[in-house]
Amino acid sequence: MSSVTPKLTLNDGNQIPQVGFGVYLSPPGEATLASVSEALRIGYRHIDTASMYGNEADVGKAVKSSGIPREAVFITTKLWNADQGFDTTLKAFDQSFKNLNVDYVDLYLLHWPVEGKRINSWKALSQIKRSGRVRSIGVSNFMVHHLEEIINATGVVPAVNQIELSPYLYSSDVINFCKKNNIIVEAYSPLTRSKKLVDLKLKSIADKYAKTTAQILIRWSLQHGFVPLPKSNTPSRIKENFGVFDFEINEQDMNTLDSFNENFRTCWDPTSVS
């Protein structure tokens, strides 16, 4: 299996491995420690956690005990909604930093565009970045109006926007805005939480490439220049989801996949947050 994940360059010059390993709903303790360790063994070099997931400490431990040099692994965590606001953000980051027990965090995200608080929280992230404890800062679940608001208020463009994204939820307005503003788009729930993996039209494309439907969804994200973040606690699937570097989906099949959009959302919906 290929162990070299391609990297993308963020708008601040830092690099991000293009496949991340998600750990939402990965139980804190042994389970997360084991699955992150397995992911690192397989070749993943990017882990996506959040303070809300309750497993930052296990992610930090798995990275440390892997023996892989710290600079070879990209670690993301996120600010939880209840902690938004300038001072509370600084305090929440201190806690995440302590939980992860690393010298620096690669990417710190606002988890959600909390109305009335997101601008001050975003200013706090800039301050944390200046302290050197975080290399890059970004947002998650931000739609175009949320992005415009924080950029206009601070002049600081997020390095990434992490949104729910798959062929079944392919939101061109926010993606186009991100492309235009040099914001890398990360795809969360890229496997539709497995709900669409049995879709026959997806299955027929997968069969053509002798790949699984999960692999097709991840590869679709990669070929669009997104950063997919598949999650699994199952060793065979952790391996399967990384087997995406030895084939290419042709243009016609990419177009077919693009046409699957049906605004199918598995997670929370930020579109109505004003």
What's at 231, amino acid-wise? Answer: K
Copy the structure tokens of residue 23. Answer: 């750990």
**Is residue 161 at the binding interface for ligand NDP, with CB under 6 A as the rule?**
no
Report in angstroms how near the CB of residue 163 gets to ligand NDP at its nearest.
8
Spell out, one character per residue from 14 to 53, where the chain touches ligand NDP: x when CB under 6 A holds, - when not: --------xxxx----------------------x-----
The DSSP symbol for 192 reads G
Q: Residue 258 — φ and ψ, nearest 5°?
A: -60, -30
Give the separation between CA 239 and CA 81, rounded to whole angstroms.
33
Contact indicator for 218, 193 with CB cutoff of 8 Å:
no
53 has catalytic annotation: yes
Judged by CB under 6 A, the number of residues near ligand NDP is: 29
Report in angstroms how near the CB of residue 240 gets to ligand NDP at its nearest.
5
Copy the structure tokens of residue 125. Answer: 């992230």
**Is residue 231 at the binding interface for ligand NDP, with CB under 6 A as the rule?**
yes
Report in angstroms how near the CB of residue 113 gets to ligand NDP at its nearest.
11
**Is residue 179 at the binding interface for ligand NDP, with CB under 6 A as the rule?**
no
Contact indicator for 102, 73 with CB cutoff of 8 Å:
no
Spell out, one character per residue from 118 to 157, where the chain touches ligand NDP: x when CB under 6 A holds, - when not: ----------------------xx----------------
Residue closer to ligand NDP by CB (options 13, 61) is 61
How many C-beta neighbours within 10 Å does residue 82 have?
Answer: 11
Order of all β-strands in the sheet with 74-79: 21-22, 46-48, 74-79, 105-110, 134-140, 160-164, 184-188, 227-228
Give catalytic residues, as residue numbers.
Answer: 53
The residue ranges that bind ligand NDP (CB under 6 A) are: 22-25, 48, 111, 140-141, 162, 188-194, 197, 212, 214, 229-234, 237, 240-241, 267
